[in-house]
Amino acid sequence: MATKVEEIYMENSIAVEEQMWRKGRRRQQLKHMLTVASPVCLLVLWEVLSRTNIIDARFFPPPTEIIGTFFKMAASGDLFNHLGISLYRIIGGFLLGVIPAILLGLIMGMYRPVRYFFQPLVMALMPIPTLALMPIILIIFGISDFSKMITIAGSVFFPVVINTAAGVANIDGIYLDVAKNYGAKSKDFFFKIALPGALPVMLEGIQMGQAIALLTIVAAEMMGAHSGIGYLIWTSYKAFLLQQMYVGLILISFFGYFFSLLLRMLQKVLIPWKK
Amino acid sequence: MSEAPKIQINHLTKIYFKKHKAVTALKDINLSINDGEFVCLLGPSGCGKTTLLRILAGLEKPSAGEFHIRRTSKDRPLQSMIFQEKGVIPWLTVEENVAFGLKMRHMPKTTIKQQTDYYLEKVGLKEFRKLYPSEISGGMKQRVSIARAFANDPEILLMDEPFAALDEQNKFILQEELLTIWSETKKTVLFITHSIDEALLLSDRIVLMSTQPGQIVREKMIDVPRPRKVEAIRSNPEMEKEFVDIWEHLQTAVEKARQS
Ligand SMILES: Nc1ncnc2c1ncn2[C@@H]1O[C@H](COP(=O)(O)OP(=O)(O)O)[C@@H](O)[C@H]1O
Ligand SMILES: [Mg+2]
C-alpha cells in the first residue's frame, strides 16, 4: 500500500509545481502587458486632452492626427528620403566613431604607456560637445553628409574608447597568467584574451554611443543640413507645422528603440558565455 | 638515481619590497625533484608556496638564486600550471579551454583534436565539451584545468591547491582521478597544498615549509604502494602517525610565526 501513498504524493507534488508554473507565467504576461500599457495610456490621455481642448491642440495635436500626417507624408515619398539620408549619416558616423575607438581602446587597455599617454587627452577632449565644434566642422567639410558623420563620430568616440580601455584593463589577472603560462603570443593574446575579455564592457559603451549618435544627428541636421529628420523637425517647427514635427520626433524615438533592440541582440550573439 | 634531477632549485630567495618594508616570502630554497616524482609542498598559508610555484612557472622572477628544469624535447613546453579555481577562461568552451595550450603553440590541427579528445574523455567531460564554464560545476571546471595541463604535454606539472575550493566529496573523487591520469603519464609534479590528508594521499615525497620567512624545514618520503585509494590511506595506521607528526610540526611553525 505504501506505493499507492507514494503515488498520490508524487501526483500532488506535480500538481503543486504545475500551479506554481502557471502562476509564474501569468505574472510574466502581466509584466508584458504593463510594459505596453504605459505608452498606450499616455497616447490615450494625450488624445482625450487634446480633443477636449484641455491642452492646446495647436501645440499638442491628437496622436491620431499625427498618424494621419505620417501616412500623408509617407505617401508623398518625401519622408523616406529624409529617413534614408538620416539613417545613412547615423550609421556612417557611428562606424566612423566606433571603429577607431575600439582600436585605440584595446591598445590603451593592453599597453600601459599608451594608456598613460592618451588618457589625459581623452579626458580633456571628452567634455567638449562636438556640436559646439559644428561651425568649424562645417567650415572644413562643408554642408555635406560627411560633416554630419564627423560630428556623430566625435560624440560616439569617447564613451566607446573609455569603456573599451576599461574593459581590457579590468580583465581578471588570472586569465593573463593562464595566457602567459600556456604560451600565448601577442596576436593570440589580442584575439583570445583581450578582445573577448573586454567585449561585455565595450558593448555597454557602444550602447551609450548609439544613444548619443541619435541625439547628435537631430541637432546636427537642425544646424547645417538641407535634408534629414532633424532638418524636417526644424523646418516643420519654423513653419508651425507641428504635426509634421511630431512625426519627426516619434521617428527618432522609434529609431532609438530599434537600435537598442538590435544591439541587445548583438550582445546575445557576441557574448554567448554570459547568461 | 644516476640521472640528473628533473627540477633543480638552488638558493632561491624572493623578497617583496613595498614602502621601505621588505617581506621575505622565500628564503634560500634548495630542492631537487626526480623525473616522474610527485612532490607535495605543504605549509601554512602565507609561507610562500604560491610564490615558489609562480617563479617556476615563469610568472615571477626570483630575487636571488636559480632553478633549472631539464628538457627532454624542444617541442615540449617546460611547464604547465593548474591554477587555484577560476583558472578556466570563461569565454572559451570546455573544449577550447582544454585545447588552449596546444593552440597557443600552434600545433597541427589533428594533434590538437587528438590530444583534446583524449583528455576530455579521461576527465569525463566529453558530453560537456561545447558548454561554457558558467554552465558547469566547480568540480567540472577543475577537471577542465587538469585536462588542459595534461593535454599540453609539458616537461613538468605545477599545481596550486587545485582542489582547495571544492567540497569534500568532489575533492576525494578528483584526487583519485588525478592519480589515475598521472600514473599513465608519470609526469613530474610539484603540487601545493595546505591539507595534510591531501599530501599523504598524493605524494611520493612531502616537503614541509615554515612561514615568515618561507623556508623548507623538513622532507618526508611516503612509500605507500600505488595505486592508492582515499579509504586505504585513511585507515593506514602508519599514515595516522605521519599525520600527527606533520600536524605537530605545522603547529609549532605557526606558533613560532605568531611569536615573532
Ligand atoms: N605580489 C606580492 N606583493 C607583496 N607581497 C606578496 C606578493 N605575493 C605574495 N606576497 C607575500 O608573500 C608571502 C607568501 O605569499 P604566498 O606565496 O601567496 O603564500 P601561500 O601561497 O603559501 O599562501 C605572504 O606574506 C604574502 O603577503
Ligand atoms: Mg597560495
Query: How confident is the model over A207-220, as pLDDT tens digits?
Result: 999 999 999 999 99
Shared domain check, A37 and A78: no
Mean pLDDT score across all residues of chain A: 91
Least confident of A1-5, A101-105, B39-43, B161-165: A1-5
Shared domain check, A199 and A94: yes
DSSP code of residue A194 = I
Instruction: Give the residue from A9, A37, A60 where a domain finishes.
Output: A60
Whether residue A84 is predicted with pLDDT greater than 70 in this model: the reply is yes
Residue A1 domain-assigned (yes or no): yes
Q: How far is the CA of B50 from the centre of ligand 2 (A)?
A: 4
Show the ligand 1 pocket: residues with CB < 6 angstroms: B 16, 18, 23, 25, 43, 45-51
- In this prediction, residues A179-189 reach a mean pLDDT of 93
Q: How far is the CA of B85 from the centre of ligand 2 (A)?
A: 11
Decide if B77 touches A, using CB distance below 8 A. yes
CATH number at residue A188: 1.10.3720.10
Per-residue pLDDT tens digits for B167-213: 999 999 999 999 999 999 989 999 999 999 999 999 999 999 988 78
Q: How far is the CA of A84 from the centre of ligand 2 (A)?
A: 60
Per-residue pLDDT tens digits for B226-242: 889 888 888 899 999 99
Whether residue B121 is predicted with pLDDT greater than 60 in this model: the reply is yes
Count of structural domains, chain A? 2
Nearest to B214 by CA among B48, B22, B41: B48
DSSP A222-235: HHS-SSSHHHHHHH
Higher pLDDT, B256 or A273: A273
Asked if A178 lies within 8 A of B83 by C-beta distance, the reply is yes
Distance between B222 CA and the closest CA of chain A, angstroms: 30
Nearest to A213 by CA among A145, A274, A152, A131: A152
- Ligand 1 atom closest to Cα of residue B48: 17
Shared domain check, A266 and A142: yes
B-chain CB neighbours of A199 within 8 Å are 91
Shared domain check, A143 and A28: no
Output the CA–CA distances (angstroms, integers) from residue B2 to A271, B35, B72, in the order listed.
54, 11, 16
Shared domain check, A92 and A43: no
CA-based nearest residue in chain B for residue A182:
B101
Shared domain check, A170 and A78: yes
User: Could you tell me if B67 and B60 are in contact, meaning their C-beta atoms sit under 8 angstroms apart?
Assistant: no
Asked if B91 lies within 8 A of A273 by C-beta distance, the reply is yes
Reported as a pLDDT band with limits 50, 70 and 90, residue B255 is confident
Task: State how far Cα A138 lies from the chain centre.
Answer: 26
The cell 546636427 sits on which residue?
A220
CA-based nearest residue in chain A for residue B134:
A273
State residue A32's pLDDT score.
84
B-chain CB neighbours of A272 within 8 Å are 132
State residue A4's pLDDT score.
75
Asked if B134 lies within 8 A of A273 by C-beta distance, the reply is yes
Distance between B247 CA and the closest CA of chain A, angstroms: 31
Residue A65 domain-assigned (yes or no): no
Most confident residue range from A80-84, A124-128, A264-268, B30-34: B30-34
Residue A212 domain-assigned (yes or no): yes
Domain of A160 in residue numbering reads as: 71-270
Residues in Cβ contact with B112 at an 8 Å cutoff, skipping those fewer than 6 apart: B99, B102, B103
Shared domain check, A228 and A108: yes
Q: Tell the residue nearest (CA) to atom 16 of ligand 1.
A: B48
User: Could you tell me if A115 and A165 are in contact, meaning their C-beta atoms sit under 8 angstroms apart?
Assistant: yes
- Ligand 1 atom closest to Cα of residue B47: 22
Mutate to test the interface with B, among A177, A181, A192, A271 (most CBs of B within 10 A): A181
ipTM value, please give it.
0.93
Higher pLDDT, A1 or A30: A30
Whether residue B2 is predicted with pLDDT greater than 70 in this model: the reply is no
- In this prediction, residues A138-146 reach a mean pLDDT of 90
Per-residue pLDDT tens digits for A4-55: 777 877 778 888 888 888 999 999 899 888 888 888 899 899 999 999 989 9
Per-residue pLDDT tens digits for B23-64: 999 999 999 999 999 999 999 888 999 999 999 999 999 999
A-chain CB neighbours of B133 within 8 Å are 273
Mutate to test the interface with B, among A175, A176, A177, A178 (most CBs of B within 10 A): A178
Ligand nearest to the CA of B49: 1
Q: How far is the CA of B81 from the centre of ligand 2 (A)?
A: 13
Reported as a pLDDT band with limits 50, 70 and 90, residue B260 is low
Instruction: Give the residue from A10, A25, A60 where a domain finishes.
Output: A60
The cell 615563469 sits on which residue?
B58
Decide if B76 touches A, using CB distance below 8 A. no
Reported as a pLDDT band with limits 50, 70 and 90, residue A1 is low
Burial-class residue A4 by CB neighbours within 10 Å (0-12, 13-18, 19+). exposed
DSSP chain B: --SPPSEEEEEEEEEEEETTEEEEEEEEEEEEE-TT-EEEEE--TTSSHHHHHHHHTTSS--SEEEEEE--S-TTS-SEEEE-SSS-S-TTS-HHHHHHHHHHHTT--HHHHHHHHHHHHHHTT-GGGTTS-GGGS-HHHHHHHHHHHHHHT--SEEEEESTTTTS-HHHHHHHHHHHHHHHHHH--EEEEEES-HHHHHHH-SEEEEEETTTTEEEEEEE----SS--HHHHHH-HHHHHHHHHHHHHHHHHHHHHHH-
Shared domain check, A43 and A76: no
Distance between B134 CA and the closest CA of chain A, angstroms: 7
State residue A2's pLDDT score.
57
Residue A17 domain-assigned (yes or no): yes
Residue A66 domain-assigned (yes or no): no
Q: What is the pTM of this model?
A: 0.85
Residue A249 domain-assigned (yes or no): yes
State the amino acid at position B25 in one-letter form. Answer: A
Instruction: Give the residue from A41, A60, A79 where a domain finishes.
Output: A60
Decide if B78 touches A, using CB distance below 8 A. no
Shared domain check, A258 and A123: yes
Residue A224 domain-assigned (yes or no): yes
Shared domain check, A29 and A94: no
Percent share of chain B, pLDDT over 90: 78
Whether residue B224 is predicted with pLDDT greater than 80 in this model: the reply is yes
Shared domain check, A194 and A76: yes
User: Could you tell me if B235 and B189 are in contact, meaning their C-beta atoms sit under 8 angstroms apart?
Assistant: no
C-alpha cell at A257: 528603440
Shared domain check, A172 and A55: no
Residue A98 domain-assigned (yes or no): yes
